Chains A and B, each alone.
Chain A
Amino acid sequence: MTATINPGMAETSFSPNSPEQIKQAAYIAGQAADMRINVELETGGMTVNLGPQHPATHGTLRIIARLDGEQVISCEPVMGYMHRGYEKLAEVRTYPQITTLINRIDWLGSFANEVPFIAAAEELMGVQAPDRAQHIRTILFEMSRVGHIILFLGDLGVQLGAITPVFFAFRDREHVLNQIEAATGGRFHPNFNRIGGLKDDLPKGWIAESKVCMEKCLAFCDTIEELLFGNLIFQKRTRGVGVITPEKALDFGLSGANLRASGVDWDLRRDGHLPLAWNKTDFKVITHPDGDAFARCWVRLQETREACKIVNQLLDTLPAGPIMAKVPRIIKVPAGETYVSTENPLGEMGYHVVSQGGLGPFRVKIRSASFNNMSIAPWLMKGVYVPDIVTILASLYFILGDIDR
């Protein structure tokens, strides 16, 4: 039995052949696995694992926290419990098949995952989707943002102890999901984008129903503002907690609302050059100078309102026309590589697609927002109290599928 501890360095392979050596090999392997804990020479403090099965973390995230009473000395997130090998899967699948799979990376804002990938493939092919398709893509993108952040706001309540907002959130998210299902056929995994446009056009009456749906979502935003944000207890729990300065935010690669809540005015919908229909709408980019947990939550609330307004504007100005450009039946994307990223509900999500002219891509690199958002956690959580760990994680907002892919 050969046990190579570090496969990169062939000289260190060592073949144990006696029981003591086998035991020693197992011991070293165990120590290496938990190296972060054992190499530290700190003697005080209690090590507590939050997760991987835990009500607070949005999925299988493990946080190893070293505590001194109620204060955190150090905090280390361990990711990877949900790694599904998307980039490897993409090497052996065709473009329509990959579109199906990548719905499941950020499973709450599922339509938004497909868009940058399809945009990258269209760029490589030199195909422009017709105006109507771009409009509807933007509408569904913003609707999935609304649904996603509504769930975030409800979940925020649960993390902080308010058990009521989450039920309102799920109830109002149902309206968005029903609309997405009416148009695409799938509530969580629409699988609606195709290279060159969309799969189907909208069913009759969808525009009027979506307007009603957006009214209800705006009403929910008002409800949650009254129920949660105006509450003194919520403000005391979140103001001044987990402050991120703009420089640190840029250093760690944060994106989305986390970046804007630290005062950095950056929004890919306005600043990136994307083919979708955002430049035809009028919306505000909302920032907050504080950079604490409250700022992040507040920015997301206002972004939901702006997203509802964007959807309303786009529903009013939907152009007539075809839904799909002229593309061959069997799609072979010519050789080349490109990187397209969009302002997803969680942050900046990008796909670097390398094609060698086959039915499927040669390599796809997925830049997910939550991975970078989580990377700031160890720096951010020095010296906070244990309840603040949950507040900070809740306000940074990640989805495990997005971190681990």
Chain B
Amino acid sequence: MLAVTIPYWGQTIIKLGTVLVIIPVGGLLIGYVFLLKMMAHMQSRLGPMEPGGFHGWYQNIGDALKFIQKEDIVPAQADKWVFSLAPYVVVISTFLLYLVIPAGPDAVISDLKVGVFYSLAVGSISVIGILMAGWGSANKYSLMGSLRAAGQLIAYELPLVLAVIGVIIQAGSMNLNQIVKAQESQQLFGLNVGGVPYIATQFVGFVIFMIAAQAELTQAPFDMPVAESELVTGYMTEYSGFRFLSFFLGEVASAFALSAIAATLFLGGWYVPLPHGILSGDNIFNVAGPLILAAKIFFISFLIFWVRFSYPRLREDQLQTIAWKYLIPISLLNIMATAVLKVVF
């Protein structure tokens, strides 16, 4: 516990500052490691090597700075207000996700009792932003892209939510910190091994969550809205400069945030079983928690991007078929099975 009490406005400023720093850093780091470097090595090339000297670490930061100083172009026939506000709606939906992610027992911006519900609800605000972007661009390609995106994102909200309900049933709470503590105290066949992450018992839920997360992030194989070979970036076609940067940041920051939520729900979040003694206790996890969570985030992001680079994209109707005909029934069965097993055991 802290030795000095900080007034509420002080706390707000610290929390705001943390979020505003973590989001670009986390997003750009994910973008650099996975999108630039890992993709390059998987494709038998090197990725950025020059900017900053050592393996081009400065590439993403340089890109961000470049985008900030570009000319502000709004198409002549575009709906000015809708066009301008669309990227900010998408970005705000991403930023709000970071408020509930726990990086330690006390290192959480806002420890909501309905954390999981809040994060999933807030993640769906981006659909409005995408529709605004597509309509406000006054461009047929953008309109087609955003309509596809709207259909896809709404369809995959359901499996995302249903996959998580199994976890909630097992943990008995919607508070993210409680879920981590429930994984900490879960026993493996009656043996106390220091906690079992929910990926072991909710494997089906994990797979469904990852597929739905892939679709929520409009990554391949679900990247119809941004199908480069047909629609030339879809709903983002008319955006350039700072607005495009906002979309890009929204995408990578969402990847970071969704990976964090998946890590918290299925992999145990900031908790790692440490031997008893001096290495346990809340204070240790307040300091080491963010690093542990970062490692788990990187693992989940690795899975997301690995699938992205390996698969071709699905057609829109096939996409919807998978969501409605396969993922939702399977996740409902998963919920039923979890509920039955929870009551029985």
Does A390 make an interface contact (CB < 8 A)? Answer: yes
Any A CB within 8 A of the CB of B281: no
B222-237 Cβ-contact flags toward A at 8 Å (1 or 0)? 0110011110100000
Interface residues of A in 39-76 (CB under 8 A from B): 46, 48, 50, 54-56, 70
- Among the stretches A156-164, A242-250, A315-323, the one at the interface with B is A156-164
Known pairs A50-B230, A56-B230, A168-B44; A163 contacts B224 (CB<8 A): no
Q: Which residues of B contact A227 (CB under 8 A)?
A: 310
Number of interface residues of A (CB under 8 A): 31
The yes or no answer to A79 lying at the interface (CB within 8 A) is no
**B256 proximal to A (CB < 8 A):** no
Q: Would you give the 0/1 interface string for B321-335, flagging 1 where the beta carbon is closer than 8 Å to chain A?
A: 000000000000000
| B121 close to chain A: CB less than 8 A | no
Interface flags for A366-380 (1: CB within 8 Å of B; 0: not) read 000000000000000
Measured between alpha carbons, how far is A55 from B316 in the docked complex, in Å?
Answer: 20
Known A-B contacts A158-B229, A161-B227, A167-B45; the reply to A385 vs B317 at CB < 8 A is yes
CB pair B315–A162 under 8 Å, yes or no, is: no
Task: Verify A161–B43 contact, CB threshold 8 A.
Answer: no
Q: Are A162 and B314 also in contact (CB < 8 A) when A48-B140, A167-B44 are? A: no
Q: Which residue of B lies closest to A156 (CB)?
A: B312
Subset of 14 A-B contacts with CB under 8 Å:
A55-B228, A55-B232, A157-B312, A160-B312, A161-B311, A161-B313, A162-B220, A163-B43, A171-B44, A233-B311, A237-B312, A387-B227, A387-B316, A390-B229
B140 touches A46 (CB 8 A): yes
Report if A231 contacts B (CB, 8 A). yes
Q: Is B309 an interface residue (CB 8 A)?
A: yes
Of A50, A159, A161, A168, the residue contacting B220 (CB under 8 A) is A161
Q: Cβ of A159 and Cβ of B318 under 8 Å apart? A: no
* A residues apposed to B, CB below 8 Å: 46, 48, 50, 54-56, 70, 157-164, 167-168, 171, 227-228, 231, 233-234, 236-237, 385-390
Specify which of B45, B141, B314 is in contact with A237 (CB 8 Å cutoff). B314
Q: Name the CB-closest residue of A to B151.
A: A70
A231 to B307, CA, bound (A): 12
CB neighbours (8 Å) of A48 from chain B are 140-141, 144
Contact partners of A389 in chain B: CB under 8 A: 230
Q: How far is the CB of B305 from chain A (nearest CB, A)?
A: 11
